[in-house]
Structure 1
Amino acid sequence: MIWLKDMGFWCHDMLLDYLKSAFVTLLVTIDPPGLAPIFIGLTLGMAPSQKREVAMRAVIIAFAIMALFGFAGDIVMKALGISLPAFRIAGGLLLFWISFEMVFELRARRKSNIAEEAVTIDQIRNVAAFPLAIPLMAGPGAITATILLAGRASGDWWMLSGLMLVIAGIMAITYVCFRLSEQISRLLGTTGNIVLTRLLGVILAALAVQFVIDGVLNIGK
């Protein structure tokens, strides 16, 4: 009985250590506070209700993708014949185009051409899915981390369930950061938002290039 009790404590401590490791790893990888300013730039010109919808859709899509890779990451990647380096390179190239639009105000010009029209449901869905959910939230780094953490669970359903709860918690934190971005946007004003969008475009470009570099360096590994 004493041996069983000690075994139970050991399993409990191991689960707690695993959950702590998963939480810290995914929190640092996804970086919810760092995504808030990017959310401002991507949803510039949208009404508060539309921003809320974008935020909610983005976290739901990102959670679904990460949960999928948590349960069947290796199987999905192998079935599609996609390597993680290729995923990094593709995500980087797509992200670079978004940053290019932000820096040179192509997004703002396109929006000004339809200024009299309401933002459509399709636009809201598109921004939520790309680039917010993919690759900014459920990007190569987060997917890789999820696959590795799921591998550490070794099929233990308690650990896998805990991993899903951790991912859900990170998504909830990200949603809160997105919601707070509205207050930040109001404080910055029109000029501040324009300057911030340009600056974030440059940062996004650097992040996109880093994705491509990491992908190239890891080819064949």
Structure 2
Amino acid sequence: MIVFFKALVLVPVTLLPILNPIAIAPIFLSMTGPIEPAIANRLAKRIAINCFLLLMGAIFIGSYVLDFFGISLPIVRVAGGIVVSMAGWKLLNDQSQDKLLNSVAATHGGQWNHEELRRRSFYPFSFPLTVGPGTIAASVTIGTQMPHKPIDWLLTSFASALGVLLTTLVIYLCYRFARNMERFLGDVGATVLLRLSAFILLCIGIEIGWAGVSDLLAELSQH
């Protein structure tokens, strides 16, 4: 049972600070624009499902995929850090919110058909906005720490799946009620939170990239 609860707690505790759905929620709103509540609910559900599948795949098969292509985790961290940093930098610029509204929200005018909803829910909302390369790298790391004993592996796998489910539930709730949070904060508060979220996203990207560079330098020094 200790192994089970340890794995159950490990996934949300590790991934939620990187995902940071509360800080990403204002960015999500800025990219969707004026959207009907029913469509926002469906979009939040699809994003949560996509994130669940992405995280499960990263935990259970991510390390095998990287080994197949010969890609190391430090390289994933460096690439992920660059992507996340660029997204944060763009959002931090003065007119970044208007650009996002023009590029995403203005394409649907609040009315999304089924195909558009399915396509947008994965890119850019599920990946890379919510589950970015940094989160994938952390998930792959969790997967590499699975025990080899069959009973412990089964317990850990089940607990990890529950942990991913809890994590994606938090994502769903944050996105589902993002509009309520925006009304509570008001226009000024929402703008401040958006800029702060963008700065945090930039810092996270730099931290992820630096972690990858540090690992590469450590490997180089060993050789």
TM-score by length of 1: 0.75
Other-structure match for 2:146: 152
Indicate yes or no: 2:87 matched with 1:98: yes
Classify 1:153/1:128 alpha carbon distance in 2 versus 1 (closer, same or farther; 3 Å): farther
Give distance in 1, aligned partners of 2:11 and 2:188.
Answer: 39
Cα deviation, residue 75, structure 1: 0.8
Query: RMSD of aligned C-alpha atoms?
Result: 3.1
Matched, 1:201 2:192: no
CA distance in 2, matches of 1:35, 1:52: 16
Partners of 1:36 and 1:72 lie apart in 2 by 29
Max radius of gyration: which structure? 1
Match of 1:118 among 109, 117, 122: 109
How many residue pairs are counted as aligned between the two chains?
Answer: 210
Do the aligned residues in 1 keep the contact of 2:19 with 2:135 (CA within 8 Å)?
yes
1:174 aligns with 2:168: no
Secondary structure of 2:182's match? helix
Unaligned runs of 5+ in 2: none
Unaligned 5+ segments in structure 1 are: 1-11
Give 1:130 deviation, angstroms: 4.1
Task: Answer with 59-68 or 98-107: which moved more.
Answer: 98-107
Question: Is 1:56 the equivalent of 2:45?
Answer: yes
Identity across the alignment (%): 26
How does the TM-score come out when normalised to structure 2? 0.75
What amino acid is the match of 1:188? L
1:4 alignment counterpart: none
Deviation of residue 172 (structure 1)?
0.8
Counterpart of 2:98 (choices 105, 108, 111) is 108
**Please, which moves more after superposition, 167-176 or 201-210?**
201-210
Equivalent-residue separation in structure 2 for 1:20 and 1:193 (angstroms): 31
Amino acid at match of 1:148: T
1:128 corresponding residue in structure 2: 121
After TM superposition, what 4+ stretches of structure 1 lie above 6 angstroms from structure 2? none
Q: Partners in 1 of 2:31 and 2:106 — Cα distance?
A: 16
Range that drifts further, 64-73 or 210-219: 210-219
1:86 is aligned to 2:80: no
Q: 1:75 aligns with which of 53, 64, 68?
A: 64
Inter-CA distance 18–212: structure 2 relative to 1 (3 Å threshold):
closer
Alpha-carbon distance change, 51 to 70 in structure 1, aligned in 2, over 3 angstroms: same
